[in-house]
Amino acid sequence: VVVLGQPVTTVFALITDREVVGVVEVETVVAIDPEHLRLVGSILRIYRNFQELLDYSERDTLTGLLNRKTFDESFLKAAAGQRQAAQADVGGDGRRAVGRMHEVYLGVVDIDHFKLVNDRHGHLIGDEVLLLLSRLMRNTFRFDDRLYRFGGEEFVVMMRCSDAQDATAVFERLRSNTEHHSFPRVGHITVSIGFTEVLASDTPSAA
């Protein structure tokens, strides 16, 4: 519905092969005509092709999660951010400022006895378990939490939380969601999770 004298908002979805990653809102004085709608559609197709090229190099082909080779760079950025936050957190009088930034936590998620799944049901069913677990992870964590398939049945999470108690609650939710999910052919599986706060001095291997 177009109301005279009111701006018109047109919404375009940013779509990849796997999901809708966002939207673009365009506000105009009048409704966008079909020719310009086609032009915007063409620009968004270019964006989609570019995003798919990035995904090909940065994402695990099975699960769609980030792959291991993107982890180190993201981790070092997070550690550098912690250093900057620590420096900004201390005022000129040497006292800590009120209202600290959320801390970065690194978690490792490992499927228990995954070799038995492959041995009993075959690698295709094992791959399905990995895919379904990655979906559970997406549904458990926030959009801006970074999820990685680190190798085999091992996954890594980097996220911001206010403290270790909040991080524990989030990882416990994933553990519980996984335990109660029924996987086709396999039934129920469990995961083991460990996590640590990312310190300003950390390297990926040290953490």
- Element holding 77 (H helix, E strand): helix 71-88
C-alpha–C-alpha distance, residues 127 and 110, integer Å? 14
| Angle, alpha carbons 154-17-160 (nearest 5°) | 45
Q: Phi, psi (5° rounding) for residue 187?
A: 90, -120
Q: Letter for the amino acid at 38? A: R
DSSP, collapsed to helix, strand or coil, labels residue 22 as strand
Positions annotated as catalytic residues are 153
